[in-house]
Structures are given as C-alpha cells and as structure tokens.
Structure 1
Amino acid sequence: MNYDQLKFNIDAYRQTGEILAAAQFLVHQFNLDDENFAGFGFRDELKKNSILLTANGEIGELQEVMIPRNLFDFDLDLVLNMLAHEMLHVRQKSPKMMILDKNEREWQAYYEMLFHTNFPQIPELSDYYKNFFGEKALIYYGRMGEGSALQLKYAEQKLDVEKLLQEIKNKTT
C-alpha cells in the first residue's frame, strides 16, 4: 500500500471516530504486532501540539499501548515512529526479553526511532525529530550511570547517535 492510500485509510478511520482501529491498522500494515501486545486503549491528551504514547503493563505480562484520541492530528511519519517505539517496549517487557532497566528500554526505543534496526519498514523522521529524539536517547544513556555495564554495552550506539546529531547540526550551520 502506498503512502497516499495509507493516509486515505487513516483519514477514513478518523472521520468515523475509529482511532483505536486506525492504530491497529497501522500495526498490521507495518508488521509491528507482537504476541505480548494486548491492544490499544485511550490515554488523556496532553496539549494540541504534544503527543505521548505509553506501553502499560507489568514486565512479563501483556502490554496495552495507550494512545491519545488526537493521535492522527500529527504527522503520520511521527505517529509511525511513536508506535514503533511503544511496540518495541511491548517486546522488551515480554516474558522472552524482560528488560528490567527503564533506561535501557528507553535507550533502545529512541535508538530505534533514529536507526530502525528492528523495524526497517518505518519511515525516517525529519531532522527536527531526529535531533529531538537523539537528545532524549542521550539523556537515558546518561541515566544508566557513568561507566556502568549498560553504558559500556551501548557505547558504540552512543557514538552513532552523537555522529547523527553532529551531522544534523552541520546541515543547519
């Protein structure tokens, strides 16, 4: 399905108020589903220009991804990346993976948004969002603890993120 058809289908879901079905449609279309995924639910909207999704559930149990009703008021590439971020959390919290450290989970999910190593079918973000999410990734990297085993585990990926951020900065100067 091409991008225009995809947007057409999402708009049709929006017009009939089927926001949860639209999100499920994208999970299916982009092969993001996981056996640890319980489905979607609604969360409160933050602001008109702000978006937050969460994967809710205890580690080792099924996860429900909570989305705002205004999810599809945002750029579709951003929405797809946010869904991929949360669907990675669904996997991370599964009995198979059980990644206990929140900083590690967030690092992996933000790295995914930048480099699409788990979900290569997800479209690339604009440089603005790459910069924003790259900075968020580095915050979680820092929270792992200076010189910790986790920081050492992700040291190469940190260099990838820093290089990407520098490339974006060089484009704007």
Structure 2
Amino acid sequence: MNYEQLQFNLNAYKETGEILDAAKFLIHQFDLDDDNFAGFGFRDELEKNSILLTANGELGELQHVMIPKNLFDFDLTLVLNMLAHEMLHVRQKSPRMMILDKNEREWQAYYEMLFHTNFPQIPTLSDYYLKFFGEKALLYYSRMGEGSELQLKYAEQKLEVEKLLEDLINKEK
C-alpha cells in the first residue's frame, strides 16, 4: 500500500472517530504487532503541537499502548516512528525479553527511531526529528551511569548516534 492509500484510509478512520482502529490498522500494515501487545487506549493530549505515546503495563505482563486522540493530526512518518518506539517497548517488557532498566529500554527505542534495526519497514524521519531523537537517545545513554556496564554494552551504537548528529549538523552548514 502506498503513502496516498495509507493516508486515505487513515483520514477515513479519523473522520468517523475510529482513532484506535486507525492505530491498529497501522501496526498491522507495518508489521509492528507483538504477542505481548494488549491493545490501544487513549491518553490525555498534551497540547496541539506535542505528541506523547506510552506503553503501559507491568514488566512481564501484556502492554497497552496509550495514544492521544489527535495522533493522526501529526505527520504520518512521525506517527509511524512513535508507534514503532512504543511497540519496541511492548517487546522489551515481554517475558521473553524483559529489559529491566528504563534507560536501556529508552536508549534502544530511540536508537530504533534513528536506524530502524528492528523495524526496517518504518520510514526515515526528517533531519529535524533525527536530531531531536538522537539527542534524546544520548540523554538516556548518559543516565545509564558513566562507565557503567550498560554504557559499555552500547558504546559502539553511541558512536553511530554521535556520527549521525555530526553529519546532520554539517549538513545544516
């Protein structure tokens, strides 16, 4: 299905107020579903220009992804990357993966948004969002603790993120 068809279908869902069904449609279209996914629910909207999704549930239990009702007012590429981020959290909190450290979970999810290693079918973000989410990734990396085992585990990936950010800065010049 091409971008125009996707957007047409999403607009139809949006017009009839079927936002949760639209989100389900996208995770099926982009093969993001997981056995540990319990479904979507609504969360409060932050503000008109801001978007926040969360994966809610205890570690080792089924996860609900909470989305704002205005999710589809945002750019489709951004929405797909945000959904992929949360669906990775769904996997990370499953009994088979069980990543206990929140900083590690966030690092992996932001890294995914930059490089799409788990979900290669997700489109690449604009340079603006690559920079924004790259900086978020580095924030969570720093929270792992200076010289910690986790930082050592992800040291090579950190270099990739820093290189991406450097390239984006040089591109702006």
What range is the shorter-chain TM-score in?
Answer: over 0.9
Give per-residue Cα distances to partners, 1:94-143, cap 9 Å, x unaligned: 00000000000000000000000000000000000000000000000000
- Pairwise CA distance, 1:71: 0.1
Residue 87 of structure 2 corresponds to residue 87 of structure 1: yes
Number of aligned positions between the proteins: 173
1:128 matched to which residue of 2? Answer: 128
Distance in 1 (alpha carbons) for counterparts of 2:20 and 2:132: 27
Point out 4+ residue stretches in structure 1 off by more than 3 angstroms.
none
Gaps in structure 2 of 5+ consecutive residues = none
Give 1:161 shift.
Answer: 0.2
Distance 1:152 1:98 in 2: 20
For 2:25 and 2:123, locate their aligned partners in 1 and report how far apart those are by CA, in whole Å. Answer: 16
Q: RMSD between aligned alpha carbons?
A: 0.2
- TM-score, normalisation: structure 1: 1.00
- Please give the secondary structure, in 1, of the residue aligned with 2:46: coil
Query: Unpaired runs of 5+ in structure 1?
Result: none
Q: Are positions 1:4 and 2:35 aligned together?
A: no
Deviations along 1:35-81, whole A, 9 cap, x unmatched?
00000000000000000000000000000000000000000000000
Match runs of 1:16-31 below 5 Å: 16-31=16-31
- Once residues 35 and 172 of structure 1 are traced to their aligned partners in structure 2, the CA distance between those partners, rounded to angstroms, is 42
Name the counterpart of 2:75: 75
Q: What is the one-letter code of the residue matched to 2:126? A: S
Q: Identity of aligned pairs, percent?
A: 83
Distance 1:113 1:15 in 2: 28
